[in-house]
C-alpha cells in the first residue's frame, strides 16, 4: 500500500531532479510534460505543473493552482546536521533554522518551486515513528 | 499501519480532528497538547499543528512569519463512491473547490478542511489508477 501527496510545481523536470538526486526519491512515471509520479518507500508524490487539465487544472473560478504554502511531507533522516550542511553547500534554501520539538528536531527545506519538505531527526523517547503501534505513545 | 507522514497547519485543532475523523474516516492516534494532534488513515499519518510558540511543527519562522493553513499541496485519498461522499460533505457544510472532475483514470474533487486546507478525494475508474495499486 501507499499514501499519496500532490505538490504543485513550476517545473516538473527540475522537481524530479531535486527529489531524486537529493532526497532519495525514485521516478515512477513521467507520462506527460506537466506530470510525474515519484516515490520514496510508501510515499508517492505527484508533481503537477499548473496545467489546463488534470491535477494541476485551474478551479472553475479561474483561480490557478500554485506551489508554496505550509503543508508538507515529512522525511525522517539519520543525521539532520549533515543533511543541512550538504544542502547549504549545494545552494539549497531553508525557510528556518533547525528547531527542537517534542519528538525530535526538524527543519523546513524548500524544493525549487518553494514547496516545503520537513526533514526530521528523532532524538527523544517521545518519538513515534510512522508505522509504530499505539503502545509507543505510552512510553 | 501508517508509514507516511504529512503535516497540515490548522487554525484550530478540535474542528480539524472532528472533520477528519467524522467525514473522512481518519482515526485519532493522539492529542497530547492543545496545538497538536496525530491522526491516521491506512498508511497515511496526518499530524495537525496549530501555530503556537510551543516549538515543533507550528513554530514561527526566525523572521516572525507564522505558518498558516491553505495553499494547494495536498494528500489524496481514495474513496469508493465519490458522489455519495460529496453529497454528505455538502450537507455537512463543507467547502468544495470545484465540482467533480472526471479525468483519464478517475473522478476527483478537492474539499477544504475547516481551516481551508485542501484534501483531494479520488475515485478510480480504471484499475491502473488505484492509488498505490501497482505495488499491491
Neighbours of B37 (CB within 10 A): 24
- By the CB < 8 Å criterion, does A6 face chain B? yes
Per-residue pLDDT at A22: 93
Nearest CA distance, A80 vs chain B (angstrom) = 15
Per-residue pLDDT at A139: 35
Cα separation, A108 vs B81, in Å, equals 36
Counts of helices then strands in chain B (DSSP H, E): 2, 9
Q: How far is CA A17 from the centre of its chain?
A: 13
At A135, the pLDDT band (50, 70, 90 cuts) reads very low
Cα separation, A87 vs A111, in Å, equals 11
Q: pLDDT for A47-85, tens place per residue?
A: 999 988 778 889 999 999 999 999 999 999 999 999 999
At A131, the pLDDT band (50, 70, 90 cuts) reads low
Please give the average per-residue pLDDT across A85-114, as a whole number.
93
Grid cell listed for A82: 549533515
Q: pLDDT for A13-55, tens place per residue?
A: 999 999 999 999 999 999 999 999 999 999 999 999 998 877 8
Residue A40 in domain: yes
The interface predicted TM-score of the complex, written ipTM, equals 0.88
Contacts of B59 in chain A (CB under 8 A): 96, 99, 101
CB contact under 8 A, A1 and B57: no
Substitution target from A70, A75, A128, A133 for chain B, most B beta carbons within 10 A: A70
- Residue ranges and CATH numbers for the domains of chain B are 4-51+73-128 (3.10.180.10)
Cα separation, A45 vs B88, in Å, equals 28
- Between A34 and A138, name the one with better pLDDT: A34
Per-residue pLDDT at B135: 35
Contact yes or no for A7/A75 (Cβ under 8 A): no
Residue A136 in domain: no
CB contact under 8 A, A67 and B73: yes
Looking at residue A15, which CATH number applies to its domain? 3.10.180.10
Contacts of A134 in chain B (CB under 8 A): 29
Per-residue pLDDT at A126: 84
Residue A38 in domain: yes
Q: Classify residue B64 as exposed, middle or buried by CB count within 10 Å of its CB (0-12, 13-18, 19+).
A: exposed
Per-residue pLDDT at B76: 94
Residue A99 in domain: yes
| pLDDT tens digits in sequence order for chain B, 136 residues long | 568 999 999 999 999 999 999 999 999 999 999 999 999 999 999 999 999 877 678 888 989 999 999 999 999 999 999 999 999 999 999 999 999 988 777 899 999 999 999 999 999 987 776 765 443 3
Per-residue pLDDT at A137: 40
Strand partners, B95: B112
Per-residue pLDDT at B103: 77
Residue A97 in domain: yes
Average pLDDT, chain A: 90
Cα separation, A27 vs B91, in Å, equals 40
- Total count of domains within chain A: 1
Range list of H helices, A44-114: 80-89
Contacts of B69 in chain A (CB under 8 A): 70-71
Residue A135 in domain: no
- Measure CB to CB from residue B131 to each of A4, A101, A102 and give the nearest one: A4
CB contact under 8 A, B62 and A96: yes
Which residues constitute the domain of residue A26?
3-52+67-130
Per-residue pLDDT at B1: 59
Per-residue pLDDT at B58: 87
Per-residue pLDDT at B136: 31
Please give the average per-residue pLDDT across A125-132, as a whole number.
76
Contacts of B47 in chain A (CB under 8 A): 74
Amino acid at each position: 500500500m501507499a499514501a499519496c501527496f500532490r505538490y504543485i510545481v513550476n517545473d516538473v523536470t527540475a522537481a524530479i531532479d531535486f527529489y531524486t538526486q537529493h532526497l532519495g526519491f525514485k521516478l515512477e512515471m513521467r507520462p506527460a510534460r506537466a506530470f510525474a509520479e515519484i516515490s520514496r518507500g510508501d510515499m508517492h508524490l505527484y508533481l503537477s505543473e499548473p496545467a489546463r487539465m488534470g491535477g494541476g487544472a485551474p478551479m472553475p473560478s479561474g483561480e490557478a493552482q500554485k506551489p508554496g504554502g505550509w503543508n508538507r511531507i515529512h522525511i525522517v533522516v539519520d543525521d539532520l546536521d549533515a543533511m543541512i550542511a550538504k544542502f547549504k553547500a549545494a545552494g539549497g534554501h531553508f525557510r528556518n533554522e533547525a528547531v527542537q520539538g517534542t519528538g525530535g528536531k526538524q527543519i523546513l527545506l524548500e524544493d525549487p518551486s518553494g514547496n516545503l519538505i520537513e526533514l526530521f531527526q528523532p532524538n527523544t523517547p517521545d518519538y513515534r515513528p510512522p508505522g509504530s503501534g499505539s503502545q509507543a505513545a505510552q512510553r | 499501519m501508517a508509514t507516511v507522514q504529512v503535516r497540515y497547519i490548522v487554525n484550530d485543532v478540535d474542528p480539524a480532528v472532528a472533520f477528519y475523523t467524522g467525514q473522512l474516516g481518519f482515526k485519532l492516534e493522539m492529542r497530547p497538547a492543545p496545538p497538536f494532534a496525530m491522526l491516521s488513515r491506512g498508511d497515511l499519518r496526518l499530524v495537525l499543528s496549530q501555530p503556537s510558540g510551543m516549538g515543533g511543527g507550528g513554530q514561527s519562522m526566525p523572521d516572525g512569519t507564522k505558518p498558516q493553513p491553505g495553499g494547494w499541496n495536498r494528500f489524496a485519498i481514495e474513496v469508493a463512491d465519490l458522489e455519495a461522499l460529496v453529497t454528505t460533505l455538502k450537507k455537512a457544510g463543507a467547502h468544495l473547490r470545484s465540482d467533480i472532475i472526471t479525468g483519464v483514470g478517475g473522478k476527483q474533487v478537492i474539499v477544504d478542511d475547516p481551516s481551508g486546507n485542501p484534501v483531494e478525494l479520488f475515485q478510480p475508474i480504471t484499475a491502473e489508477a488505484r492509488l498505490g495499486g501497482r505495488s499491491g
